[in-house]
Structure 1
């Protein structure tokens, strides 16, 4: 098993379970024993995935698996965001481990700095290597990872200068504008050369998820006024409707051409991004203080539906993942034996 390396964006599962534990279950239900159990499970997943990633360094596989493809390189942002959510869970659920949470946060800031540097380089490579026709929502992990640090600071540290919060929030918004421009340009410039079934990526839902975590960062840091937060929510909700309408149409087209099982009930790592973004949008909606009666009514509808829909989406994804891992465990011994025979 030590030779099984997880894909770059595997930490998206940690992000998804973490936001539903802390953002959905904790805010609405408040079942502390369940929250602690899920937090331990999430930390265990983070530890195992981190170990697998660490092994790529020692076995000289890091560049091949995580770095060589400029687009895939953006997936390292899930390492930052996944570490952030684990840090927050430790700080919130296990207050006696506050020092451990701080130590992990220091490491995470260093990881984020490394990530930002390689992403800036990757943005230039997208042009030089003509990869802009293959870009998708994974680019927006630059925003998600940056804003996740604002959430960490508000949870782990007693007092953070407003200037620091403003710096990270604005930097995250800059990353959002650059990434969203590149993604939208891909689909609009050559609208006739791509099909919605094959070329629309699951990760495009991060278009609204990145805005949701930005709004949540504004709320938790208490460094932005309510009018700006409401404006961000309106933008996130609008993009949510647009993107998910496209997703529904895509699902219809896939069901028509591939059938129900292949179109919907097939596991893909990128599907965790949908669980995360839905959970983040629900959390942002729950935390916001609406200034208009119409907005308040919409907020209540989203919360009423979302409190059941988001956990159900997580359960479905866990079931698909479990089935995928079961099939993998059955096929792995055969594949290992085949490789051994070839190398003999």
Structure 2
């Protein structure tokens, strides 16, 4: 591993966060969508190539692979790799529909990777359910749901010839089963563990508690599998969870600022922060797709119209803020590296 440059396994979340913005929220900003959409998609594809090439190289190295797979919590981060590819496929098709045949091939390969990931999900859930208090479980395990439901969206949009009854529906419910298992484990961790604090032990990835349901909602709406009433109720559940989780996040941020100050408390870059950008963008995508489909028109229609206008700015500003933290972190890293070699 000495000559292997290690990339954080969670780097797939960067592709997820940037991709979901280009997939949905960017449409609220025509000057970005129409003027820069294709350019930003090409940049995202290049970022994806760099990230996935590095991840593949180190994944095939046993010194990285063995300890990574032996960690029943962190190995769920592979779900971000699959979801990132899925989102990237959808974005490329959106801006470059002529590449459908190629992207279909990528989607099939990604599906094969998901089957491999599926085996680890089942095994790791068995391990965690057997000893739920032996590990520091957090929202990363819900990437099992995110990865699974991301495939549904790809299949519906890019591989429409796949059967809904024999493939799409069973896989969607499998994603929901993963979610229930994950929520049970997260609840057990925080409910039974006495020595934990909001500042140190509540992780950024816990925002996937609502993000995993948002992508499930998008999968449901995209495949039109449930009635408008059921989808409306589902949306309200996701919205309620988003409010609850983000109130916890705000409380945590206030406590961290009080304890560590502004810079160290909330303005220090960590790769797990991209998960929040993804969940914000995914809730926008779920709401937008539901709002634009006349089948799902409901008493919430006017509320959604106003909400989408406001939420689009939150998604954009949060994404710009995260990019700023990343640039600042890398600038400091490059500056320190330059000084150390001087």
Give TM-score, length-normalised by structure 2.
Answer: 0.91
Aligned 1:276-287 pairs, distance under 5 A: 276-287=278-289
SS at match of 1:220: helix
Q: Given the alignment, which residue of 220, 236, 243 partners 2:245? A: 243
State the number of aligned residues: 335
Distance in 1 between residues matched to 2:68 and 2:50, nearest whole Å: 17
- Unaligned 5+ segments in structure 1 are 338-344
Distance in 1 between residues matched to 2:264 and 2:63, nearest whole Å: 32
- 1:322 maps to 327
Distance in 2 between residues matched to 1:194 and 1:122, nearest whole Å: 23
- 1:340 maps to none
- 2:178 maps to 175
Distance in 1 between residues matched to 2:259 and 2:48, nearest whole Å: 37
- 1:3 maps to 4
**Deviation at 1:102?**
0.8
Aligned 1:296-315 pairs, distance under 5 A: 296-315=301-320
SS at match of 2:73: helix
Q: Does 1:185 align with 2:188?
A: yes
After superposition, give the CA deviation of every residue in 1:208-239 in whole Å (9 maximum; x if it has no partner): 11111001001111222212211221110010
- Unaligned 5+ segments in structure 2 are none
- 1:103 maps to 105
Distance in 2 between residues matched to 1:272 and 1:51, nearest whole Å: 20
- 1:17 maps to 18
SS at match of 2:62: coil
**Deviation at 1:159?**
3.2
Distance in 1 between residues matched to 2:6 and 2:306, nearest whole Å: 42
SS at match of 2:160: coil
Distance in 1 between residues matched to 2:236 and 2:84, nearest whole Å: 26
- 2:121 maps to 119
Distance in 2 between residues matched to 1:214 and 1:130, nearest whole Å: 25
**Deviation at 1:301?**
3.5
Distance in 2 between residues matched to 1:104 and 1:208, nearest whole Å: 28
- 2:161 maps to 159
- 2:39 maps to 37
Aligned 1:254-273 pairs, distance under 5 A: 254-273=256-275
After superposition, give the CA deviation of every residue in 1:26-45 in whole Å (9 maximum; x if it has no partner): 36637234111111111111
After superposition, give the CA deviation of every residue in 1:75-110 in whole Å (9 maximum; x if it has no partner): 000110011011112222112211110110111011
1:165–1:223 Cα contact (<8 Å) kept: no
SS at match of 2:269: coil
- 2:27 maps to 26
**Deviation at 1:260?**
1.0
- 2:88 maps to 86
SS at match of 1:227: helix
Distance 1:141 1:45, change over 3 A: same
Distance in 2 between residues matched to 1:173 and 1:127, nearest whole Å: 16
Structure number with greater CO (CA < 8 Å, separation at least 6) is 2
2:211–2:282 Cα contact (<8 Å) kept: yes
**Deviation at 1:61?**
3.4
Distance 1:94 1:184, change over 3 A: same
Q: RMSD between aligned alpha carbons?
A: 2.2
Distance in 2 between residues matched to 1:288 and 1:261, nearest whole Å: 38
1:67–1:73 Cα contact (<8 Å) kept: yes
